[in-house]
Amino acid sequence: MNFNDYDPGNFYDELFIRQGEPRTEAIPLINRLNSLGMPEVLRRQQAAQIALFKLGVTFNVYSDDQGTERILPFDIIPRIVSADDWEILERGLKQRIHALNLFLADIYSAQKILKDKIIPAEIVFSASGFLKPCMGLEPPEGIWCHITGTDLVRDRDGQWYVLEDNLRCPSGVSYVLENRRVMKSTFPLVFDTMQIQPVEEYPSQLLETLLNLAPAHLIDPTVVVLSPGIYNSAYFEHSYLAQQMGVQLVEGRDLVVADGFLQMRTTRGLQRVDVIYRRIDDDFIDPTVFRADSMLGVPGLMEVYRAGRVAIANALGTGVADDKVIYSYVPAMIRYYLNEEPILANVPTYLCWEPSQQAHVLANLDQLVVKSAGESGGYGMLIGPHATQAERDAFAEKIKTFPRNYIAQPTLCLSRVPSLIEGNFEGCHVDLRPYILYSKQIFVNPGGLTRVALRRGSLVVNSSQGGGSKDTWVVCK
């Protein structure tokens, strides 16, 4: 089989303009694949999977009783982003993060955007991520969202959209780094000919971002990664990032508040912690303030945090911006705070709490995707066109009962990238999650995690729902 026979079909394909005609930036890759031939490509695919398994690049699935790990299925045909596209994405993401950060700082202090009625106050106050105890919080340098993983998708016409802003603890960056490592040994010659922007800077940039939060007078501040532990689905990543940055990986049970500071239990007694990169949700961080049943957090941490004696990334309370209703107001935030037009578009979103929009949603459930405002990871959603009438009816009831909890969006036809399915090249739908760090400047890691729906025809790319990943190549100008 020859790659030139690959038919992109009636979709936006990231590598091909039409059958037999690869996009300019993809030509060296396609040539190389053709010269290797399918049997060799499949051998390399297998070698890459084995390499990832041996490295233990695994995740856990919550619903799996056995608690076993799996590797995230990996497809060696990369997704390529042209220099021009990347230039727009980079600018757009910086703009968006800048505005979101101003929004967070605003709603936890003066709440101007609510007073000016740009966003209805009750929407913000009813968001599950809005945390009253964070009112008046002043995180170092005014930065709230230090690490963001924004989900982008492309529709049938090639138009980019922001699908979700993940401002709490976005995961997946370890796959970006490990996938790249494996890809370099899979296609060394292609890396040689194509100018692909490196992604390896991320751990150093992340460490800089965290060190930036420590008080200036500390010469050697202690930075830690706070993980829920080995049964968390993203544990590999927590451990990996701690290792790459050379900092301690801690769990809640390693930490204790003593003498007004956060301290960790070491073999030589208690040692002060200055900066936490937390990978547990807001709700779990301090059982005395938030969920009392949390075993993952540290009692008393919030008080130390409010006193400015420990820095936390991302700041507590950032989850409010992950609410999908609030998401729909991000373009308005950009206009309000920055006085600019948004560079990246939102997916058109219907808000079920508005009666007229709700009516439209209920009348068109068979064409829309309905999402629960507070959930992520592909949980709690209805894909109208693929659902049964019974499922749609059940969702309609939920929408009518809790309108604030639901939004609806048109079913996008996600762009595709050819992938290896059962020994053939087949187009599979993808999204893209670039990682953005907010420190002295805003840094967008060139590339990101391309998640791919490896089940034939599937639109769901989440790893918890059978999705896989691809390396993302951003071509240099």
* Chain residues that interact with other proteins, rule: CB under 8 A: 54-56, 229-230, 235-236, 239-240, 242-243, 248-251, 253-254, 256, 258, 263-270
Nearer CB in complex with other proteins: 54/217: 54
Structure tokens at 125: 């106050």
Using the minimum distance from each CB to other proteins, give the nearer residue, 242 or 320: 242
Q: How far is the CB of 58 from other proteins (least distance, A)?
A: 9
Q: Using an 8 Å Cβ cutoff, are 336 and 100 in contact?
A: no
Measured from the CB atom, the residue of 14 and 251 that comes closer to other proteins is 251
Q: Closest Cα to residue 415, out of 5, 6, 16, 3?
A: 16
Q: Return the number of the residue (10 or 267) whose C-beta is nearest other proteins.
A: 267
In terms of CB distance, is 113 or 224 closer to other proteins?
Answer: 224
CB of 236 to other proteins, least distance (A): 8
| Cα–Cα dist 141/106, whole Å | 14
DSSP state of 180: H
CB of 221 to other proteins, least distance (A): 17
* Backbone angle region of 352, left / alpha / beta, with phi > 0 → left and psi within -120 to 50 → alpha: alpha
Least distance in Å: CB of 45 to other proteins?
A: 20
Residue partners of 230: CB distance under 8 A and separation at least 6: none
Of the chain, the end-to-end C-alpha distance in Å amounts to 32
Nearest to other proteins of 249, 326 (CB atom): 249
CB 60, min distance to other proteins, A: 11
The pair phi, psi for residue 366, each rounded to 5°, is -75, -5
Query: Residue 323 in contact with residue 129, Cβ under 8 Å?
Result: yes
**Closest CB to other proteins among residues 94, 265:** 265
Beta carbon of residue 56, minimum distance to other proteins (angstroms, whole number): 6
CB-nearer residue toward other proteins: 86 or 235: 235
Q: Which is nearer to other proteins, 181 or 360 (CB)?
A: 181
CB of 262 to other proteins, least distance (A): 12
- Specify burial of residue 24 (Cβ count, 10 A radius: 0-12, 13-18, 19+): exposed
Q: How does DSSP classify residue 292?
A: T
State the minimum distance, in angstroms, from the CB of residue 249 to other proteins. Answer: 5
321 to each of 99, 101, 131, 142, how far by Cα in Å? Answer: 11, 9, 11, 16
**Token code pair at residue 199:** 């992604």
Quote the least distance from Cβ 204 to other proteins, whole Å. Answer: 16
Closest alpha carbon to 73 in 457, 445, 421: 421
Angle at CA of residue 252, ends 249 and 257, nearest 5°: 110
Dihedral sign computed on CA atoms, order 233, 238, 244, 249: negative
For tokens 């301690």, name the residue: 248
